[in-house]
């Protein structure tokens, strides 16, 4: 079903993991992270908690990582 939407499937071991997640979110692609453990990477918290902020011009952004 999501094949038409170009589903992005990632693992935490994927090279440039955070960059791939960021690109998927930026252009609105669905993203699945496989083989997660009990603890998630804290860099994903802003996405999971919808921590948006507004910048000049009224654009909403989410800051990932540091």
Helix (H), strand (E) at residue 31: strand 31-34
Residue 36: predicted pLDDT: 87
Indicate the average pLDDT of the chain: 85
Residue 61: predicted pLDDT: 86
Is pTM, for the whole model, over 0.85? no
Distance CA 30, CA 64 (A): 17
Residue 28: predicted pLDDT: 86
Distance CA 65, CA 1 (A): 31
User: Does residue 25 or residue 2 have the better pLDDT?
Assistant: 25
Residue 16 has φ and ψ, to the nearest 5°, of 60, 40
Degrees, nearest 5: CA angle 6-64-23: 20
Helices (H), 1-66: 17-27, 45-48
pLDDT tens by residue, 36-55: 888 888 888 888 898 888 98
């Amino acid at each position: 079903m999501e094949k038409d939407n170009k589903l992005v499937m990632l693992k935490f071991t994927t090279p440039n993991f955070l960059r791939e997640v960021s690109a998927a979110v930026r252009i609105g692609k669905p993203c699945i992270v496989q083989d997660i453990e009990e603890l998630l990477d804290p860099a994903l918290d802003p996405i999971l908690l919808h921590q948006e902020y507004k910048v000049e011009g009224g654009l909403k952004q989410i800051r990932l990582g540091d």
